[in-house]
Amino acid sequence: MAMSIEELKEKILDKALNGPKAQLYVKDFHAIDPDASPRAVKNAANDLVKEGKMVFWSSGSTTMYAAKGRAKDEETREA
Amino acid sequence: MPKHVTPLMDELEKGPWPSFVSDLKRQAEKNPQCWDIVGQMELSYKDKMTHWKHGGIVGVFGYGGGIVGRYSDVPAQFPGVAHFHTVRLNQPSSKFYRTDLLRKLCDLWEKHGSGMTNFHGSTGDLVLLGTRTEELEPLFYELTHELNWDLGGSGSNLRTPSCCLGKARCEWSCYDTQAACYGMTMKYQDEIHRPAFPYKFKFKFSGCANDCVAALARSDLSAIGTWRDQIRINQAEVKNYISGANKPNGGGVPGKTGFDIQKEVIALCPTGCMWMEGDTLKIDDAECTRCMHCLNVMPKALRPGLDQGASIMMGAKAPILDGAQLGTLIVPFIKMNPDGEFEELVEVIEKCWDWWMENGKNRERLGESIQRVGLPTFLRVMEIEALPQHVKEPRSNPYVFWRDEEVPGGFERDVKEFRKKHAQ
């Protein structure tokens, strides 16, 4: 049985905060709950962005998710 | 007065063609930050490397697309382009603009950005080039609240759908491309504004096989108008072409005299499905691939059939990770009914997305996923039986794979029974 949206959000945030990779593709969250539909996972990750706990990082062609503060900040990054 | 010495960029102002460098210099008279664009490009040309940093966490609240972060890696030298974010706006269907709206948009962009634009990006968006992070939210507020204009797609989102002129200007359009483009844009707002996919996904809508938006080459899912009954023939107009009373190609080849229907139409038909019987043109419609060549040459004599809809191709892409691909025909014909909210199209789209969201790898376009699993597997996903239209020609590929359930008795064999018959 798929997790509730709140459980899903909690696990996604935990992975984004404590996982080895700072920036993750939406597919990287699918393994958290194999029973959840990709749309449910996407919606949960997007909710976390709306709540200000996660951010989008985009190259323009691809978008990744990161916990707030863990994403690469291009403004301050040395070239 | 130029801020930087730019001999390499100045070269690009020479010649009879329009120059973006001249445009930048003209805009710089109003907005001095544009001098720094010219200056940084001069440095890039000299160093033979880009001085843009790529991407970032910029955007507007609630949206995961539409803004592409750009920063200079030499901001002290060129402070005017320290931040130079790109804003993608959802263009109107077929790019029909109201001039008063364009004037307002240009005023707004001069207020909040560089004033430089790109009409249009290759996906079709109206692109606003260059603004600072702190200008994004005020710009977005005024765009949406005063101009009623929305951002387009970027990143791993559904990209801004685009379409040809369709029935607005074209007698060949087999469905209302603008209605389809607008309908899908509104239906899939969430997918346009929030990343949902393994990578980008593009829709394009062409009304006929002339494919004026190059959907076949540029979109993960293209709907190309077609028909499934007979080409409508006006034999009197055919005779007028043969006699020279009608100019072929609508007179689109200046200076051309004479018209040879055999050489210019019949011999060029890719399936050889046309011939003359006396002075009557005959077409074997069952063999016709709806390529549009004969209709293009003799538009007064030939028109698309009346049972119209679209063919759905999937998997086209430009070469980023893998080589360029044209779309592959997946659904030979569906009806494109605006009154039914394009129900058949929506069913195809969602079936494909559900599979790709689960099975597509990160940064893998749909066409690459299809190539990886093979067309037969993808057709099964789409619940479509393989059809003659899916192959170019029969029996040229020896690798026919049968599945267990397609073979009487399956692949399981009793070896002892087999040996009884064959162990001589």
Token pair recorded at residue B378: 């993808």
pLDDT value of residue A30: 92
- Beta-carbon-side half-sphere exposure of residue B80 (alpha carbons within 13 Å): 18
With tokens 């063999």, the residue in question is B287
Residue B412 covered by a domain? no
Are A79 and B156 within 8 A, CB to CB?
no
Q: What is the nearest CA distance from B106 to chain A, expressed in angstroms?
A: 23
The closest of A34, A71, A39, A19 to B69, measured between CA atoms, is A71
Residues B176 and B283 reside in one and the same domain: no
User: What pLDDT does residue B397 have?
Assistant: 59
Q: Does the interface ipTM go beyond 0.85?
A: yes
If asked whether residues B352 and B287 sit together in one domain, one would say no
Mean pLDDT, chain A, rounded, equals: 90
A40-61: pLDDT as tens digits: 999 999 999 999 999 999 988 8
Q: Residue B274 is part of a domain; what is its CATH number?
A: 3.30.70.20
Question: Is it true that domain A5-67 has CATH number 1.10.10.10?
Answer: yes
Nearest to A63 among B53, B155, B360 (CB): B155
Q: Which residue of B has its CA nearest to A66?
A: B57
Identity (one letter) of the amino acid at B130? G
Tell whether B410 is covered by a domain.
no
Same domain, residue pair B121 and B197: no
The domain boundary, picked from B257, B275, B303, lies at B303
The H-or-E segment that residue B148 falls in is none
Chain A residues whose beta carbon lies within 8 Å of the beta carbon of residue B51 = 79
Chain B environment of A55 (Cβ under 8 Å)? 57
Same structural domain, B29 and B141 = yes
Does B411 map to a domain?
no
User: 10-residue block means of pLDDT along chain B (424 residues)?
Assistant: 91 94 94 94 97 90 93 95 96 96 96 95 94 97 97 96 97 97 97 94 97 96 97 98 94 88 97 96 96 97 98 91 89 95 97 96 94 91 88 66 83 85 74
> pTM for this structure?
0.92
- A44 CA to chain B: closest CA distance, Å? 11
The per-residue pLDDT for B254 is: 84
What pLDDT score was predicted for residue B117? Answer: 95
**What is the residue range of B396's domain?**
162-228+307-404
CB distance A56–B57 less than 8 Å? yes
Same domain, B122 and B169: no
> What pLDDT score was predicted for residue A72?
80
In whole angstroms, give the CA distance from residue B196 to residue B360.
Answer: 12
Is B266 among the domain residues?
A: yes
Please report, for the domain that includes residue B128, its CATH number: 3.30.70.2500
Residue B422 lies in a domain: no
How many domains does the structure of chain B reveal? 3
B2 belongs to a structural domain: no
Does residue B418 lie within any of the structural domains? no
> Do B312 and B236 fall within a single domain?
no
For residue B407, the model assigns a pLDDT of 86
As a whole number of angstroms, the distance between CA B411 and CA B402 comes to: 10
Cis peptide before B120 (omega within 30 of 0): yes
Q: Does B173 touch chain A (CB under 8 A)?
A: no
Chain A: give the shortest CA distance to residue B341, in Å. 22
Q: Are B161 and B152 in contact (CB under 8 A)?
A: no
Q: What is the percent of chain A with per-residue pLDDT over 70, rounded to a whole number?
A: 96
If asked whether residues B50 and B187 sit together in one domain, one would say no
Interface test with A, best of B40, B194, B352 (most A CBs within 10 A): B194
Q: Are residues B312 and B216 in the same domain?
A: yes
Q: Which of B73, B133, B156 sits opposite A62 (nearest CB)?
A: B156
Q: B326 and B177, same structural domain?
A: yes
Is there a single domain that holds both residue B221 and residue B315? yes
